[in-house]
A and B are shown apart, each in its own frame.
Chain A
Amino acid sequence: MISASGRQKVLYSISETNDESTDDIYDYMHINNELINTCKHKYWPTVFDSGLITQQVSSVIFFVVIFIYLDNKTLEPGDVLYGNALLILLGLCFYRWLNLPFGVRLWKDNLKTLSAFILFGFMVSPVIATLTKTISTDTIYAMSTIMMLAHLIFYDYGCETAMVQKALSFSAALFSAVCLASRLATSLHTFTMVSCAVLIFTVGSELRKLVKAESLKTFIFLTIIHVILCIIFLSRLSFIHCFLYGISVLLLTFICPKWLISLQKYKTSMRGPWDEAEISLDK
Chain B
Amino acid sequence: MTNKKIHHICMVSDFFYPLIGGVENHIYQLAQCLIDLNHKVIVVTHAYNDRVGVRYMTNGLKVYYLPFVPFYNNATLPTVFSTIPLIRCVLLRENVTIVHGHSSFSTLAHETMYHAKTLGIRTVFTDHSLFGFSDISSVITNKVLQISLVDCHHVICVSHTCKSNTMLRANLSSNDISVVPNAIDSAVFVPDTTKRSNERITIIVASRLVYRKGIDLLIGVLPKILKTYPNVEFKIAGNGPKEIDIQEVREREAYEERVQLVGSVSHDKMNEFLNSGHIFLNTSLTEAFCMAILEAAACGLLVVSTKVGGIPEVLPSNDTNSDIMILCEPDVQAVYIGLCKAIERISNGNGPEVSEWHEKIKHWYSWKKVAIQTQTIYNNISEKVPLTLNDRLKRYKRCGSISGIVMSFIAIVSYFIVIFLNYTQPIHLIDDASGYTREKFELAYELRRQNDKKTK
Q: What 4 pairs across the A-B complex have the smallest Cβ distances?
A: A274-B130, A277-B330, A274-B165, A12-B364
Question: Is the pair A18, B160 in contact by a Cβ cutoff of 8 Å?
Answer: no
A23-31, A212-220, A226-234 - the one binding chain B: A23-31
Residues of B within 8 A of A (CB): 130-134, 159-165, 167-168, 173-175, 178-181, 212, 214, 216-217, 220, 285-286, 288, 306, 308-310, 312-316, 330-333, 360, 364-365, 369, 373, 376-377
8 Å CB contact of B214 from A16, A17, A279: A279
Determine the chain B residues whose CB is within 8 A of the CB of A28 once the complex forms: 163-164, 167, 174
**A8 and B164 contact, Cβ closer than 8 Å, known pairs A14-B181, A20-B178:** no
User: What string of 1s and 0s marks CB contacts (under 8 Å) between A25-56 and chain B?
Assistant: 10111011000000000000000000000000
Q: Chain A's nearest CB lies how many Å from the CB of B362? A: 12
* Residues in chain A within 8 A of chain B (CB atoms): 1, 8-14, 16-18, 20, 23, 25, 27-29, 31-32, 269-270, 272-281, 283
- CB-CB under 8 A from A277, the residues of chain B are 214, 285-286, 306, 308, 330
Task: Determine how close the nearest CB of chain A comes to the CB of B242; give it in whole angstroms.
Answer: 13
Chain A residues contacting B134 (CB-CB under 8 Å) are 269, 275
Known: A11-B313, A12-B316, A273-B309. A279 touches B285 (CB 8 A): yes
Within the assembled complex, what's the spacing in Å between the Cα atoms of A13 and B314? 10
Contacts of A269 in B (CB 8 A): 133-134
**16 A-B residue pairings within 8 Å (CB atoms):** A1-B159, A1-B164, A1-B312, A1-B313, A9-B313, A11-B179, A11-B313, A12-B360, A12-B364, A20-B178, A29-B174, A275-B134, A277-B285, A280-B331, A280-B332, A283-B331
Q: Of B180, B308, B313, B376, which one neighbours A10 at CB under 8 angstroms?
A: B313
Smallest CB separation, A16 vs chain B (Å): 7
Determine chain A's interface SS by DSSP, over half rule: loop
Bound-state CA distance A17–B379 (Å) is 13
Q: Which of B163, B164, B179, B333 lies at the interface centre, i.e. has the most chain A CB atoms within 10 A of its CB?
A: B164
Query: What are the residues of chain A within 8 A of B214 when measuring CB–CB?
Result: 277, 279
Whether the Cβ atoms of B131 and A274 lie closer than 8 Å is yes
Chain A residues lying within 8 Å of B162, measured Cβ to Cβ, are: 274
Per the bound structure, the CA–CA distance linking A29 and B172 in Å amounts to 11
On chain A, the residues within 8 Å of B377 by CB distance are 18
Contact A281 B286 (CB under 8 A): no
Number of A-B residue pairs with CB-CB distance less than 8 Å in the complex they form: 112
**For residue B131, which residues in chain A have a CB less than 8 angstroms away from its CB?**
274
| Chain B residues closer than 8 Å to A281, beta-carbon distance | 216, 220, 332
CA distance A158 to B134 in the complex (A): 22
Residues in B with CB closer than 8 Å to A273 are 161, 308-310
Report A238 CB to chain B, min CB distance, Å. 39
Residue of A nearest to B361 (CB): A12
A28, chain B: closest CB distance, angstroms:
5
* A272 in contact with B164 (CB, 8 Å): yes
B164 and A31 form a contact (CB under 8 A): yes
Bound complex: CA of A280 vs CA of B164, how far in Å? Answer: 27
The residues of A that contact B216 with a CB separation of less than 8 Å are 279, 281
* Most chain B C-beta atoms within 10 Å of own C-beta, residue among A16, A28, A278, A283: A28
Contacting pair B333 A12 (CB below 8 A) = no
Q: A23-B174, A270-B133, A277-B308 are in contact. List 11 more A-B contacts (CB 8 A).
A: A1-B164, A9-B313, A11-B159, A11-B314, A272-B168, A273-B308, A273-B309, A274-B288, A279-B220, A281-B332, A283-B220
CB distance from B117 to the nearest CB of A (A): 24
Smallest CB separation, A7 vs chain B (Å):
11
Q: What's the least CB distance linking A34 to chain B, in Å?
A: 10
Taking a contact as CB atoms under 8 Å apart, the answer to whether A12 and B164 are in contact is: no
Using known A-B contacts A18-B373, A23-B174, determine if residue A283 contacts B332 with beta carbons closer than 8 Å: yes
Q: Which of B160, B168, B312 contacts A270 (CB 8 A)?
A: B168
Q: Which residues of B contact A274 (CB under 8 A)?
A: 130-132, 161-162, 164-165, 286, 288, 309
CB closest residue in chain A, given B182: A11
Docked pose: A270 CA to B166 CA in angstroms: 13
Chain A neighbourhood of B376, CB < 8 A: 17-18
Q: Known interface pairs A1-B310, A16-B369, A279-B214. Does A10 touch B316 (Cβ–Cβ under 8 Å)?
A: yes
Q: Is the CB of A8 within 8 A of B220?
A: no
Q: How far is the CB of A159 from chain B (nearest CB, A)?
A: 15
Do residues B286 and A11 form an inter-chain contact, with CB atoms below 8 A? no
Among residues of B, the one whose C-beta sits closest to the C-beta of A275 is B132
Of the residues A27, A31, A276, contact of B285 by C-beta under 8 Å: A276
**B306 to chain A: which residues have CB within 8 Å?**
277
Contact, CB under 8 Å: A25 / B285: no
How far is B315's CA from A278's CA once the two chains are assembled, in angstroms?
A: 23
B331 / chain A contacts, CB cutoff of 8 Å: 279-280, 283
Contact between B313 and A8 (Cβ–Cβ < 8 Å)? Answer: yes
Complexed CA–CA distance, A257 and B314 (Å):
48
Question: Which residues of B sit under 8 angstroms from A278, Cβ to Cβ?
Answer: 285
Q: Is the CB of B160 within 8 A of A9?
A: yes
Hey, which chain B residues are within 8 Å of A283, CB to CB?
220, 331-333
Residues of B close to A1: CB separation below 8 A: 159-161, 164, 310, 312-313
Complex Cα distance, B158 from A1, in Å, reads 12
